[in-house]
Structure 1
Amino acid sequence: MKPSIQSRTSRTILTKGSGFLNGYSHTLNPYAGCAFGCSYCYVRRMPIALFREEDWGEWVDIKENGVALLKKEIPKAKKKGKVSIFMSSSTDPYQPIEYKTELTRSLLEAMLEETPDFLFLQTRSPLVTRDIDLLKKLGNQVLVSITVETDLESVRKIFAPQAPPIGGRLKALKELREAGIPVQAAIAPLLPCSEDFPEKLHRAVNRVTLDDFFMGDGSGGKRTEQLGIRKLFEEHNLGDWYDRKTYLKIKNRLLEKFSEGNIFISQEGFYPPN
């Protein structure tokens, strides 16, 4: 089922960073809503989703005046201090509608004119590789983070059936790294995976961030519980994975392939560099 798409005029495109993302001066969401509609997405429990008639994943709003706003708001924000942007906190900037609108690409082009001090670009879509030409121009002022929450397609199809296949994400990570763009794999949230997961990641990236429902949903796991994710684990005989200590076992596996300094845990892996 295709989501309903609407274009809307926004008052602003930059929002003050807060909560989990308080290390950033601003967050930037090109869209409202997300067609990937992942079952565990914490945004499902936020007002933007709760007060909408359609279910999460069934609607997307395009912020049609986003580029014009950004060109005004970055210079204004710079007058108050350094500008660090997390893109995006409550949507995916490279969800399917981006193929048509190229809104995210246009925002990146605007950032080459009015460059923030740092841009963290979070997605789970291989479409990000389309913009390698622009990302290279941002140099060390950007970090691209691609979600790879498991290496098992069977698990992805349970929890995020509308999200891009894992193989394409791993390929995108490798392509970005080979292009010289700072990049990381975000195991966020951690889902059941194979023992080969660390090796697959190591072939693609040098840096990983590991997060789970309990650390990363902004409520100590309460939002995830309200979404019924525990039941989803149990229905597929994966209940042993739904545990606060599981991430430590995976971290130990990652240490076989990655140095301690290149493994980040939860919030620290999404922060701008010092």
Structure 2
Amino acid sequence: MKTELRYTAPKTLLNKGTGFLSGYSHSLNPYTGCTFGCSYCYVRQMPVSLFRDADWGQWVDIKRDAAAIVSKQLERAKKKGPVTIFMSSSTDPYQPIEYKERITRSILEAMVDQPPDFLLLQTRSPLVVRDIDLLSQLGKSVRVSMTVETDREDIRKHFTPSAPPIPARLKALKQLNEANIPAQASIAPMLPSSEQFAALLRPLVRRVCIDDYFMGDGSGGKRTKNLKIQALYEELGLEEWYQPGAYKMVYERMKAIFAENELFISQKGFEP
């Protein structure tokens, strides 16, 4: 199905960090909408999606002149105090349209000129390695958070068939590590995984964040419940993975290989 593309002219891109992102001064979304269209995405239950004519995953709004807007906002914001930015909270900054439009790259170029105090770059796309040259210039003020919900491709295909393959994401983490770009593996939301998951991540990152629907969807799991995600677990006979305490098993597996100060749970793993 063809993606519905629309160009918009926003007046602002830096928005006040609130709720789950209250530890940040701002959040930033280069696009509205996301063609990865993950089945469990909490944005499906937010007004931006609910009041759209097309289904989530089938449309993207591209924000014109994003770099110029961010540059002006950064200049003003830095005069008022520390600027910490979460990019992105309701889209993936490296979804497929970014190959052509390069909105995220243009924003990073603006940030190189006026660096924020901290930038967390949240994505599940290997395309992030394209911008290693810019990320290197931001130094320790940036962290790439790569979503790796599971190490099992069969699980990934069941829940997020349009998202990048897990091996490609792991390769991206390896490239970021080799380039000395601060990065973490974000097991969020946690999906069923194998006992080898921790060993797979160990050579790639020194930081792992584990989150689930009940802690991380912004509503105690209610948004996820409305999406009928439990049915996907039932199809696979993996209902035991869909309950509030399931993350503890993955945490214990990680703890057998990672140090406790390298492991973070939910919100703490995403804070500046």
Sort the TM-score into its range (normalised by shorter chain): over 0.9
What is the CA distance between 1:235 and its match in structure 2? Answer: 1.8
What is the CA distance between 1:3 and its match in structure 2? Answer: 1.6
Summarize deviations over 1:205-226 as a string: whole Å, max 9, x none.
1110000000000000000000
What is the CA distance between 1:78 and its match in structure 2? Answer: 1.2
SS in 2 for 1:122: strand
What is the CA distance between 1:46 and its match in structure 2? Answer: 0.6
Aligned to 1:244: 244
Aligned to 1:142: 142
Aligned to 2:80: 80
Superposed, 1:124-203 pairs within 5 Å as 124-203=124-203
SS in 1 for 2:7: strand
Summarize deviations over 1:19-49 as a string: whole Å, max 9, x none.
0000000000000000000000000011110
Aligned to 1:30: 30
The one-letter code of the counterpart of 2:236 is H
The one-letter code of the counterpart of 2:23 is G
2:64 matched to 1:64?
A: yes
Aligned to 1:53: 53
What is the CA distance between 1:203 and its match in structure 2? Answer: 2.2
The one-letter code of the counterpart of 1:20 is F
Aligned to 1:99: 99
Aligned to 1:15: 15
2:224 matched to 1:224?
A: yes
The one-letter code of the counterpart of 1:230 is Q
Contact persistence 2:148–2:166 (CA under 8 A): yes
What is the CA distance between 1:2 and its match in structure 2? Answer: 3.4
Identity among equivalent positions (%) equals 61
Unaligned runs of 5+ in 2: none
The TM-score, its normalising length taken from structure 2, stands at 0.99
SS in 2 for 1:206: coil
What is the CA distance between 1:89 and its match in structure 2? Answer: 0.3
Unaligned runs of 5+ in 1: none
CA distance in 2, matches of 1:9, 1:109: 19
2:263 matched to 1:258?
A: no
The one-letter code of the counterpart of 1:18 is T
The one-letter code of the counterpart of 1:250 is V
Contact persistence 2:66–2:106 (CA under 8 A): no
Summarize deviations over 1:162-181 as a string: whole Å, max 9, x none.
00000000010011011011
CA distance in 1, matches of 2:175, 2:158: 27
SS in 2 for 1:193: coil
What is the CA distance between 1:256 and its match in structure 2? Answer: 1.1
SS in 2 for 1:112: helix
CA distance in 2, matches of 1:264, 1:105: 28
Q: Which moved more, 1:257-266 or 1:232-241?
A: 232-241
The one-letter code of the counterpart of 1:53 is D
CA distance in 1, matches of 2:64, 2:192: 38
CA distance in 1, matches of 2:216, 2:174: 25
